[in-house]
Amino acid sequence: MAKGIKLFRVLGIRISVDWSWFIIFGIFAWSLAYGYFPFRQPGLGPLTYLTLGLVSALLLFSCVLIHELSHSYTANRLGLDIHEITLFIFGGVAELTKEPEDPIVELKIALAGPAASLVLAVLFWGASRLIPSSSYPLVRAVVSYLALINLVLLIFNMIPGFPLDGGRVFRAIWWARTGDIDMATRIASRIGKGFAVFLIIWGFLNIFTGNFTGGLWSVLIGVFVQQAAESGYQQLLIKRMLEGVKIRDIMSKGVIHVPESKTVAEAVDEYFFKYHFVSFPVTANGRVVGLISLNNVRALDKERWATTSAGEIMHRLASEDALAPENNALDVLTKMSAENGGRFPVVDRGELVGIVTRRDIMKMIEFKSGLGR
């Protein structure tokens, strides 16, 4: 998962933004300043439009954030741990560590976001009615825009294709009625993909008939929904297969490790050339202190190999890097995608007991899917 820029904390949840967010924020502010507001409120200066655009885009993203927080807050109250939300191009992605265990929980979490958007839409609509347009035309224009955009967010999110909220609602209802979550997920993601294809075709039709900007948005959102439906479904399958699997079930034991005091030259001859692994845990008195990889070796001048110890060039292992045998297999998968690492030492009370690789996990997934799970 791409690492975002950390912003602040609300309700114990860390809020980050992905780089893509800045691009989309700019496009939004720009199209509001040069498209929407000049059309709604003609005859103002360019600086006024720019301010309106920036303020409205910021408020819009605050509304998206409230929508996402509402999901996460509900999830946390129902016992799922969510510590972080990353805002991406369209909306946000809450880091969900566990899948909901029953359809009612899923339904509540899925509905919490759209419920927040509905409340916001009604509030802004009410406010826009109360603000006299004669004295505060600009405030009223922004508030009416927010009412509209929250309604759009609500409708868009309630489309019944997974992984949109509506898709989760659909899946929860199907799951509750049939007890078959796999089937429910498959159908919901198919609807999601179908909707994506519709958006893309619709977008191109618009582009070819002259509505370039509207069409482009439609295509972009379509591509986004398509990818989210696909990866959301894959992730779900993997999560379901690794449910209840512990690190100890998949790790390889009898790990070859490099003592800290070995020189890099020795490490290359006695370990890298001999065993052909890309990295080895480094130990001092039987305790894991780091990880030495081919990249670490390559980064060091060859003349210094004989005089530098493995401990000097290794990647030091922080306590949160270490996996315990009791950890869930899903944890290592999350770590792997976050750090792009291949091999993770498993440590029990400071002592090296095994190693987990991507292949170990894939083997478990293959094994379980072979059993028809």
Q: Which residues bind Zn ion (CB under 5 A)?
A: 113, 157, 165
Minimum gap (Å) between residue 132 Cβ and Zn ion = 34
- Mapped onto helix, strand or coil, the DSSP state of residue 14 is strand
Q: Name the region of 18 (left: φ>0; alpha: ψ -120 to 50; beta: rest).
A: beta
- For Zn ion, the closer of residues 118 and 138 by Cβ is 118
Minimum gap (Å) between residue 89 Cβ and Zn ion = 14
- For Zn ion, the closer of residues 113 and 192 by Cβ is 113
- The residue with its CB nearest to Zn ion is 113
- For Zn ion, the closer of residues 165 and 260 by Cβ is 165
| Token pair 């508030």: residue | 143
- For Zn ion, the closer of residues 63 and 333 by Cβ is 63
| Token pair 């792009």: residue | 340
Minimum gap (Å) between residue 83 Cβ and Zn ion = 18
**CA 170/CA 83 separation, integer angstroms:** 26
Query: In this structure, what token pair is assigned to residue 335?
Result: 């770590």
Written as one string, the DSSP assignment of 335-366 is HHHHH--SEEEEEETTEEEEEEEHHHHHHHHH
**CA 346/CA 340 separation, integer angstroms:** 17
- For Zn ion, the closer of residues 80 and 241 by Cβ is 80
245: which DSSP letter? -
* Pairing, β 258-259 against β 279-284: parallel
- For Zn ion, the closer of residues 165 and 360 by Cβ is 165
**CA 272/CA 267 separation, integer angstroms:** 7
Contact predicate 231/239, CB 8 Å: no
Query: In this structure, what token pair is assigned to residue 115?
Result: 């419920």
Contact predicate 244/253, CB 8 Å: no
Minimum gap (Å) between residue 293 Cβ and Zn ion = 39
Minimum gap (Å) between residue 177 Cβ and Zn ion = 23
Minimum gap (Å) between residue 318 Cβ and Zn ion = 34
Minimum gap (Å) between residue 41 Cβ and Zn ion = 30
CA neighbor of 311 nearest in space, from 267, 345, 254:
267
- For Zn ion, the closer of residues 37 and 61 by Cβ is 61
